[in-house]
């Protein structure tokens, strides 16, 4: 209960807004009782990050990893990332993009934890690209690391548009991502699979 509330605050206002005193007041608990759980603000922030990471893994990484390795998994990672925004898994814009900008350039365990989460995400994207290259679904001459960065950049760009347009850009974001995959794909993937997001999903369903 404590950490679920902490995630809500951090998602809306950032990790810096978390304090033991604030949580105690909002949850109608004793400050000493909360202090017994966490001992320090840094420990509270780390526990909140861990809870948020578990939520993200459950919503994005785990179901994506159940997809067929290769281009299907790369799409699933991006599609589920967009879906976790659409479904407001976090109640505000700060997890994890806001937390990364807020802390990544600082020293200390909280910054290290956030950087580790970001690295795990890029590792998953890059691995999916490399596996798709190994299956000849994506051009093997493409720089897998650069592709992963570009895909993530498009996702963050979508998030900005989502916030500006109050959730009206999900379909457009998927079309842009599909266009990027079309430019990377080899002849192993039929061209008509890229005609639309609907056609792409039909292709994936027919090739599990």
Identify whether 191 is part of a domain: yes
Q: What would the pLDDT profile of 2-44 be if each residue is shown by its tens digit? A: 899 999 999 988 888 888 888 888 888 888 877 788 888 888 8
Identify whether 202 is part of a domain: yes
**β-bridge partners, 138:** 185
What is the pLDDT, as a whole number, of residue 103? 81
* Average confidence (pLDDT) over 120-126: 95
CATH code: domain of residue 147: 1.10.357.10
Question: How many domains does one find in the chain?
Answer: 1
* 199, pLDDT greater than 70: yes
What is the pLDDT, as a whole number, of residue 158? 87
Identify whether 142 is part of a domain: yes
Identify whether 41 is part of a domain: no
What is the pLDDT, as a whole number, of residue 167? 60
Based on the number of CB atoms within 10 Å of its own CB, is 37 exposed (0-12), middle (13-18) or buried (19 or more)?
middle
Distance CA 140, CA 184 (A): 9
Distance CA 111, CA 59 (A): 23
* 193, pLDDT greater than 90: yes
Identify whether 38 is part of a domain: no
Q: Average pLDDT, whole number, for the chain? A: 89
Distance CA 151, CA 174 (A): 11
Q: What would the pLDDT profile of 130-173 be if each residue is shown by its tens digit? A: 999 999 999 999 999 999 999 999 998 888 888 887 766 667 88
Identify whether 113 is part of a domain: yes
């Amino acid at each position: 209960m404590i950490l679920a509330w902490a995630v809500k605050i951090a998602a809306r206002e950032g990790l810096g807004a978390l304090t033991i005193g604030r949580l105690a007041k909002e949850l109608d608990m004793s400050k000493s009782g909360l202090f017994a759980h966490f001992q320090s603000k840094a420990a509270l922030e780390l526990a909140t990050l861990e809870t948020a990471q578990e939520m993200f893994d459950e919503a994005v990484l785990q179901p994506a990893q159940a997809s067929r390795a290769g281009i299907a998994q790369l799409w699933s990672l991006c599609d589920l990332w967009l879906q976790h925004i659409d479904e407001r898994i976090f109640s505000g814009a700060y997890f994890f993009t806001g937390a990364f900008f807020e802390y990544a350039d600082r020293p200390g365990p909280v910054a290290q934890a956030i950087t580790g989460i970001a690295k795990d995400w890029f590792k998953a994207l890059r691995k999916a690209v490399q596996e798709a290259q190994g299956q000849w679904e994506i051009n093997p001459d493409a720089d897998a690391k650069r592709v992963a960065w570009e895909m993530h950049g498009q996702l963050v760009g979508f998030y900005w548009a989502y916030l500006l347009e109050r959730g009206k850009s999900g379909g457009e974001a998927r079309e842009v991502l599909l266009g990027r995959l079309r430019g990377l794909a080899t002849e192993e993937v039929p061209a008509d699979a890229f005609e639309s997001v609907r056609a792409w999903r039909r292709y994936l369903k027919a090739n599990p």
